[in-house]
């Protein structure tokens, strides 16, 4: 019904009826995929819609290893969940997966799956962050190497999780200072940018010696990744996390933006992520977009609904604090829609100085974005692109890609041991999306029946 409405709207609106192509998310684009792939997708999406599997995923994995042995259990995972949502372990496997996506008109958005464990001495030590730095630098090289036509730059994107390079404990501390009215002047984007650029000793008076030391190392790591990404023409999309960390993450992004999003650099090279499920996101986005405009900096935004709803609410309840999230799904929908409208208007006014990724699997959202792009005269393959997770909502990604839009699939890669805990946590955070993938499962089923019955 919604899609039908969308099509009617499209055909009535817009500056020139000739240029617009209505999108149809009816699974027709599945003809591009092999039967094996479709069958695996259907089985895995069915399995993931079963709540106990997601809730007890790690325990079940440990049991299956004990009962079947790690080889057989690993083979089963590779043929199912890992194969569906992960590109592979080696650079060669990632390349193979990406080449397949490219033939379908989709682009890679590589993500290094790192999970900090605040209670683990190993996964919070300086050596762990240094290891992650090396992984990020390799990811930049891999992203660059995956480019279809060497020489075409500007459209290589990669995800960056800041808490892989700096501890969430420090981010929490910074957040608590940033939120205070009289935050120290050292915690301004300009001062942090200066410190990153000079690499000289930098002390923030409100932090202790150990925290200052870790901040300095973190700034060096961030600067190193962005410097390398800039040299390789790879744009970095910084992930948004919890509200207890986000103000610190945004401060670090703002500091990086001072140096790397200046017009002479041809950026934006560092983008921030905005979560529409938070009550104050629209205002924050408006302020940041206007500030970037005033200071002449390029501005890059990944717009998402937000993945940590349950945890945000639980923490607010535990702390007796105000719930930062929207009261219900409809309020999040409206917030996303307003943020989207705001950003598309900015893009249409600022051109290539303002970039947007519409990171959503939601058909109505994608529909709204494509319609407004057409109305505002924003080119299909310009500063606005779309993002979906690998293995999810291929009927939306393929329809967009076939219509000529820039579509990125967020692609985790790494060994089974590294990626499965990450995938299970992601699945828990995106439980509602996996359970709501009913339409995708129906379309997959329809296509498989069609093939089985010998349809054209
Ligand atoms: C490329 C890419 C990058 C991403 N990067 C990030 C990131 O950096 N940080 C991050 O947090 N997430 C990120 N996500 C995940 C994203 O935030 C969403 O969780 C996910 O995409 C589902 O939203 P949707 O619009 O696709 O689907 P929909 O099914 O339309 O929306 C589901 C979302 O609606 C919201 N919602 C559901 N129920 C309620 C409720 N009762 N009240 C209020 N809100 C509700 C939640 O945000 C939920 O995730 C990313 C997703 C993609 C595709």
Residue ranges of domains in the chain: 89-427
Q: Which of 162, 240, 241, 304 for mutating ligand 1's site (highest number of atoms within 8 Å of CB)? A: 304
User: Which atom number of ligand 1 is nearest to the Cα of residue 326?
Assistant: 43
Residue nearest to atom 37 of ligand 1 (CA): 329
Say if residues 106 and 409 touch (Cβ distance below 8 Å).
Answer: yes
Residue nearest to atom 30 of ligand 1 (CA): 362
Q: Which of 108, 157, 300, 306 for mutating ligand 1's site (highest number of atoms within 8 Å of CB)? A: 306
Q: Which of 168, 158, 126 minimizes the C-alpha distance to 308?
A: 168
Q: Which of 296, 279, 271 minimizes the C-alpha distance to 338?
A: 279
Q: Kindly give the distance from the C-alpha atom of residue 391 to the centroid of ligand 1, in angstroms, as a whole number.
A: 16
Say if residues 105 and 398 touch (Cβ distance below 8 Å).
Answer: yes
C-alpha distance from residue 5 to each of 1, 9, 197 (Å):
6, 6, 52
User: Which atom number of ligand 1 is nearest to the Cα of residue 109?
Assistant: 1
C-alpha distance from residue 138 to each of 47, 50, 85, 304, 345 (Å):
33, 36, 21, 26, 36
Say if residues 107 and 99 touch (Cβ distance below 8 Å).
Answer: no
Q: Which of 245, 243, 242 minimizes the C-alpha distance to 218?
A: 245
Q: Which of 305, 328, 397, 428 for mutating ligand 1's site (highest number of atoms within 8 Å of CB)? A: 305
Q: Which of 49, 158, 307 for mutating ligand 1's site (highest number of atoms within 8 Å of CB)? A: 307
Q: Kindly give the distance from the C-alpha atom of residue 360 to the centroid of ligand 1, in angstroms, as a whole number.
A: 7
Residue whose pair of structure tokens reads 């994995």 in the numeric block: 61
Q: What is the pLDDT of residue 264?
A: 87
Say if residues 310 and 242 touch (Cβ distance below 8 Å).
Answer: no
**Element holding 185 (H helix, E strand):** none
Residues lining ligand 1, Cβ inside 6 A: 239-240, 273, 275, 277, 304-309, 325-326, 328-329, 332, 359-362, 365, 387-389, 410, 430, 432-433, 436
User: Which atom number of ligand 1 is nearest to the Cα of residue 409?
Assistant: 1
Q: What is the pLDDT of residue 186?
A: 87
Give the whole-angstrom CA distance, residue 330 versus residue 333. Answer: 5
Give the whole-angstrom CA distance, residue 391 versus residue 106. Answer: 12
Per DSSP (E only), the strands in 327-426 are 354-359, 384-389, 407-412
Give the whole-angstrom CA distance, residue 96 versus residue 91. Answer: 9
* DSSP-based three-state secondary structure for 345: helix
Which residues neighbour 359 within 8 Å (Cβ) at sequence distance 6 or greater?
Answer: 273, 302, 303, 304, 386, 387, 388, 410
Q: Kindly give the distance from the C-alpha atom of residue 393 to the centroid of ligand 1, in angstroms, as a whole number.
A: 13
Residue whose pair of structure tokens reads 């060096």 in the numeric block: 220
β-bridge mates for residue 159, sequence order: 237
Give the whole-angstrom CA distance, residue 241 versus residue 255. Answer: 18
What single DSSP character describes residue 302?
A: E
Give the tens place of pLDDT for each residue, 126-146.
999 999 999 999 999 999 998
Radius of gyration from C-alpha coordinates of the chain? 22
In a 13 Å sphere around the CA of 330, the CA atoms on its Cβ side amount to: 0
User: Pairing mode, if any, of strands 234-238 and 384-389?
Assistant: unpaired
Question: Dihedral of CA 415/418/424/429: which sign?
Answer: negative
Give the whole-angstrom CA distance, residue 353 versus residue 351. Answer: 5
Domain 89-427 annotated CATH 3.20.20.220: yes
Token pair listed for 138: 């390799």
Which residues neighbour 360 within 8 Å (Cβ) at sequence distance 6 or greater?
Answer: 303, 304, 305, 336, 366, 386, 387, 388
Residue whose pair of structure tokens reads 């974005």 in the numeric block: 369
Say if residues 389 and 29 touch (Cβ distance below 8 Å).
Answer: no
Q: Which of 228, 214, 290 minimizes the C-alpha distance to 256?
A: 228
For the chain, the 3-state helix, strand and coil shares in percent, each to the nearest 5, are: 60, 10, 30
What single DSSP character describes residue 264?
A: G
Q: Kindly give the distance from the C-alpha atom of residue 401 to the centroid of ligand 1, in angstroms, as a whole number.
A: 21
Give the whole-angstrom CA distance, residue 328 versus residue 324. Answer: 12
Q: Which of 45, 109, 272, 359 for mutating ligand 1's site (highest number of atoms within 8 Å of CB)? A: 359
Q: What is the pLDDT of residue 122?
A: 65
* DSSP-based three-state secondary structure for 272: strand
Q: Kindly give the distance from the C-alpha atom of residue 297 to the centroid of ligand 1, in angstroms, as a whole number.
A: 28
Residue nearest to atom 42 of ligand 1 (CA): 328
Q: What is the pLDDT along the chain (456 residues), one digit of tens a residue?
A: 343 334 333 333 344 445 667 788 888 878 888 899 999 999 988 888 887 877 777 788 788 888 888 888 888 888 888 999 999 999 999 999 999 999 999 999 999 988 776 666 667 789 999 999 999 999 999 999 987 655 455 589 999 999 999 999 999 999 999 988 888 888 999 999 999 988 777 889 899 999 999 999 999 999 999 999 999 999 999 999 999 999 999 999 999 999 999 988 888 999 999 999 999 999 999 999 999 999 999 999 999 999 999 999 999 999 999 999 999 999 999 999 999 999 999 999 999 999 999 999 999 999 999 999 999 999 998 999 999 999 989 999 999 999 999 999 999 999 988 888 888 877 777 776 776 678 889 999 999 999 988 865
């Amino acid at each position: 019904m919604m899609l039908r409405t969308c099509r009617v709207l499209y055909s009535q609106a817009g500056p020139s009826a000739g240029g617009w192509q209505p999108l149809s998310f009816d699974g027709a684009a599945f003809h591009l995929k092999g039967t094996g792939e479709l069958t695996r997708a259907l089985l895995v999406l069915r399995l993931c819609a079963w709540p106990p599997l997601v809730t007890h995923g790690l325990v079940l994995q440990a049991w299956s290893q004990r009962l079947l042995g790690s080889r057989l259990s690993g083979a089963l995972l590779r043929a199912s969940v890992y194969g569906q949502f992960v590109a592979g372990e080696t650079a060669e496997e990632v390349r193979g997966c990406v080449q397949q996506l490219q033939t379908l008109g989709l682009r890679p958005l590589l993500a290094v799956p790192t999970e900090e464990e605040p209670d683990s001495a190993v996964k919070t030590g300086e050596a762990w962050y240094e290891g992650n730095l090396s992984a990020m630098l390799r990811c930049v090289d891999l992203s660059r190497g995956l480019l279809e036509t060497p020489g075409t730059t500007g459209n290589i994107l990669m995800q960056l999780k800041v808490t892989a390079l700096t501890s969430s404990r420090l981010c929490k501390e910074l957040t608590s200072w940033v939120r205070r009215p009289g935050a120290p002047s050292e915690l301004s984007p300009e001062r942090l940018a200066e410190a990153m650029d000079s690499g000289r000793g930098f002390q923030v008076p409100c932090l202790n010696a150990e925290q200052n030391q870790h901040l300095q190392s973190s700034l060096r790591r961030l600067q190193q990744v962005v410097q390398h990404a800039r040299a390789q023409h790879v744009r970095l999309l910084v992930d948004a996390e919890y509200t207890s960390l986000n103000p610190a993450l945004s401060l670090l992004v703002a500091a990086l933006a001072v140096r790397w999003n200046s017009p002479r650099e041809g950026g934006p090279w560092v983008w921030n992520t905005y979560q529409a499920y938070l009550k104050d996101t629209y205002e924050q986005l408006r302020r940041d977009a206007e500030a970037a405009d005033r200071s002449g900096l390029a501005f890059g935004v990944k717009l998402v609904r937000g993945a940590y709803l349950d945890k945000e609410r639980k923490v607010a309840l535990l702390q007796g604090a105000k719930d930062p999230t929207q009261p219900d799904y409809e309020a999040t929908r409206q917030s996303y829609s307003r943020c989207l409208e705001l950003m598309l208007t900015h893009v249409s006014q600022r051109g290539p100085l303002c970039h947007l990724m519409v990171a959503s699997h939601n058909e109505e959202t994608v529909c709204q974005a494509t319609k407004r792009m057409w109305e505002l005269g924003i080119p299909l393959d310009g500063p606005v692109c779309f993002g979906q997770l690998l293995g999810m909502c291929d009927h939306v990604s393929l329809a967009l890609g076939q219509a000529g839009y820039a579509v990125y699939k967020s692609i985790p890669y790494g060994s089974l041991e590294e990626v499965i805990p990450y995938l299970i946590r992601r699945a828990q955070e995106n439980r509602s999306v996996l359970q709501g993938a009913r339409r995708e499962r129906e379309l997959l089923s329809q296509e498989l029946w069609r093939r089985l019955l010998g349809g054209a």
